[in-house]
Amino acid sequence: MNIGTAAKKSGLSVKTVRFYSNIGLISPDKSSDSNYRIYSNQDVEKLLFVGKARKFDFSIEECRELLSLYENKDRPSSEVKKITIKKIKEIEQRMSELDSLRTELKRVSKNCHGDQRPDCPIIGFLAEKK
């Protein structure tokens, strides 16, 4: 199938499919006649896999590692779990940071009258040098 069909079946944009191909996440065949990339059902399965992994915020390199494990039917599940546990810890850390940011912004926004006066503690807070 052509890149447009592969993109549609995988739910990714043509640009993303091309990018994944260019960086070697997938390796479609090339047509000898037109030199266009030809995508197989297996390529689409890999695109679906990477697309879902990216939704869970796995990096390209993590996707490369997960894809390698996906393709290895003799893989140890401990390797997959190790990558996943690491990602969970990263997400929890970011959630904690975001929670702190939300708390601070709520605190600052409570001090703003939100009226026609130019005085705004939010602007003052954002302008502070720390």
pLDDT digits (tens, 9 = 90+) for 70-120: 999 999 999 999 999 999 999 999 999 999 999 999 999 998 888 888 889
Is the entire prediction scored with pTM above 0.85? no
pLDDT band at 23; cut points 50, 70, 90: very high
**Cα(10)–Cα(16) distance, rounded to whole angstroms?**
10
pLDDT at 32: 65
Phi-psi domain of 116 (left: phi exceeds 0; alpha: psi -120 through 50; beta: other)? alpha
Question: Which amino acid does the sequence have at 61?
Answer: E
